[in-house]
Amino acid sequence: MSSASRAVRATVLTFVARRLGSRYLPAVLAVAAILVSLPAVGTGLLNDDYMQRAIAGGPSPFVERLTANGLALDRSTALGSVLTDLYIAVDPQRNLNALRAYGALPWWTYEGYRVAFFRPVAALTHWLDHRLFPNSPSLMHVHSILWFAAVVWLVAALYRRFIDAAPVAGLAALLFLLEDGSFFPTMWLANRNLLICLFFGIMAVVVHDRWRRDRWRPGAILAPLCLLLSVLSAEAGIATVAYLFAYEAVLMAGRWRSRVLALTPAVAVVVLWRLVYNVLGYGASGGGFYFDPVREPVGYVLACLQRAPFLLAGQWTTVPPELYSFLPPTSRIALWLVLSVLTVLIPLLLWRFLQSHRRSRFWLVGMVFAAVPFCATLPMSRSLLFMAIGAFGLISEFIAGWFADTWDDCGRVTRVQAVYARPAWLRGSARNLCAVFVVVHLPLAAVGRVMAPRVADRMQERVARTMDLGPLTGVEQQDLVVVNAPNPASFLYEPYVRAYEEQTLPRGFRLLAPGFDEVEVARPSANVLIVRSVSQGLFDCQRQGARADFVYFFRYLSYFRGPGHPLNVGDRIGLDRMTAEVLAVDEAGLPQEVAFEFAVPLDDLSLKWLWWDWDKRRYRPFTPPPVGDTVTLVGPF
């Protein structure tokens, strides 16, 4: 490199360092967080938002229509009920039977299936929304965006407190802002809980540091209080403990006894919270989407092994964690192997830097342990926000170490080039890793953040298409029978969406089978229809090629009966006006062939039939075959 080139590079880096080191940067980034999130304002309501409106919105014709069909929880207007019930989607003691009787949950749902969360702090913000601006989802989204801006400001403050060089702290905060997974929690009102939980979690770490490093005594009480507010906003708040543990294990010196005692209040908060959580009957269990660490420890451990590489390597490389849900099994296993290697390889390449830089070890330990709670559900980009705090703290300090002369005027920076002086191959590998970090987390991340609203909209449109049943006029006294639902999970929200949009609600939904693959539909008698899978089972997807497809994601969403709760041949599930009998099952105990006996002949006017046409990607009217005949409905491939 010529002297002129070096001078230009130095000038550019100095300019960037000064801007990133500005004391106004946290405020600038908070404003930028608002600006990049503005597309969420016009999103409206999504999925759980409709169910939550039925609880927090107060008396309305919308709620009355749901109550008439047994779909509204009792006592749904009082503040106390909102705080306890807002995040109850399905509970065996509260609404599972009603949801399955109506058909919002399919007939194969496990009797103990539960998706019920205790998030009173987040619920309070939604209760306020429905009192201040009940008919303005746009203002509700603005409320969520302000929480995100507060998170970005607080993250910048956290980095400034922990990182000596102000420009490096600014770089870390900028990287966090560019994390594209932050858009979805502003787009989906029901996911505001993640932003609130993240805000109080970061606050807990900052206050804990003030208590331990500055001997600020109120921090001994305020840090556990912030942690409590975090876990009462979302279960993900447990990830806060990862950073508190990393703080005491890595950053603090002295006897282990004093460090363990410093963690005791945080551990006590989590233990007491979980005890109350269990006693009140909250949690997620019985399905395959969520695995509760307490109720399903074996399933949760297996889920951690399968999902953690998608989260950790996804954070390092920006490979979308959603690929876990969108790939066929063989391709998912292959990608899991690659990401598992990267999960181990990247820390190994950073090892010398980690050895020479204590704070980098703090960031790494916090990042890794913060991934553990999020393995309870499917890997998603929005799940990376807690991990991003540690990852971007480490990445920014590693990047700055290659340009130490530029940053050193503003604080102590570990000189990475000196750390990796020999051997040459290790120095080259570290330099290449630094280049990868710069490219994927700055220009590519900026493009991804700008494109995030459009990508999220397209994905939501694809899901919404599976919920578009048409106007369905005159079906108040009819059962809507769907032969092959492409996304059975969408029917949990369907009656709430239709009631909110003042569309006709049928007498009930009857989902016969998922539409994940080709099925044969036979009619042995006037009242009976048999649906059988052409492949291994009704929940199986044809495994052709390696392409990603929504059908695999829909399959995961529809695991209303987890792997520990198989069905058996001869099992009969009775619903009003229809009984399902399992005739054959696959190796996992999921249905392969099912007979459906209706109370009336299949041609009766009280039944309205639909089937999903994968070629047209829409629902079409279905005519049951004549007695003795069979028809085949094609699958997605």
pLDDT digits (tens, 9 = 90+) for 181-212: 999 999 999 999 999 999 999 999 999 999 99
> Would you say 109 and 100 are in contact if contact means Cβ atoms under 8 Å apart?
yes
pLDDT at 77: 61
pLDDT at 203: 98
Angle (CA) 371-375-381 rounded to 5° is 70
For residue range 303-320, list pLDDT tens digits in order.
Answer: 999 999 999 999 999 999
pLDDT at 416: 74
Least confident of 72-76, 260-264, 383-387, 475-479: 72-76
pLDDT at 494: 93
Least confident of 226-230, 293-297, 304-308, 422-426: 422-426
Please give the structure tokens belonging to residue 224. 């556990």
pLDDT at 214: 92
Calpha distance 312→316 (Å, rounded): 6
Question: Which amino acid makes up residue 4?
Answer: A
Calpha distance 623→637 (Å, rounded): 23
How is 592-611 classified by DSSP, letter by letter? EEEEEEESS-TT-TTEEEEE
Q: Can you give the C-alpha Rg of the chain in angstroms? A: 27
Local structure of residue 248 (DSSP, 8 states): I
Please give the structure tokens belonging to residue 405. 């002369």
**73 or 503, which is more confident:** 503
pLDDT at 424: 78
- Name beta bridge partners: 613: 618
pLDDT at 423: 82
**430 or 404, which is more confident:** 430
Chain mean pLDDT for the chain? 91
> Would you say 17 and 406 are in contact if contact means Cβ atoms under 8 Å apart?
yes
Residue 1 pLDDT greater than 60, yes or no:
no
Calpha distance 285→293 (Å, rounded): 9
pLDDT at 290: 87
Residue 230 pLDDT greater than 90, yes or no:
yes
pLDDT at 348: 93
Distances (CA, A) of 491 to 164, 464, 508: 52, 11, 11
Handedness of CA 414, 416, 422, 426 (dihedral sign): positive
For residue range 472-527, list pLDDT tens digits in order.
Answer: 888 889 999 999 999 999 999 999 999 999 888 999 999 999 999 899 999 999 99
Which burial class, exposed, middle or buried, applies to 418 when counting CB atoms under 10 A from its CB (0-12, 13-18, 19+)? exposed
> Would you say 83 and 538 are in contact if contact means Cβ atoms under 8 Å apart?
no
Strand ranges of the sheet holding 591-598, from the earlier edge strand across to the other edge: 572-575, 578-585, 591-598, 528-533, 519-525, 630-633
Residue 578 pLDDT greater than 70, yes or no:
yes
Residue 410 pLDDT greater than 60, yes or no:
no
Least confident of 72-86, 243-257, 374-388: 72-86
| 3-state SS, residue 517 | coil
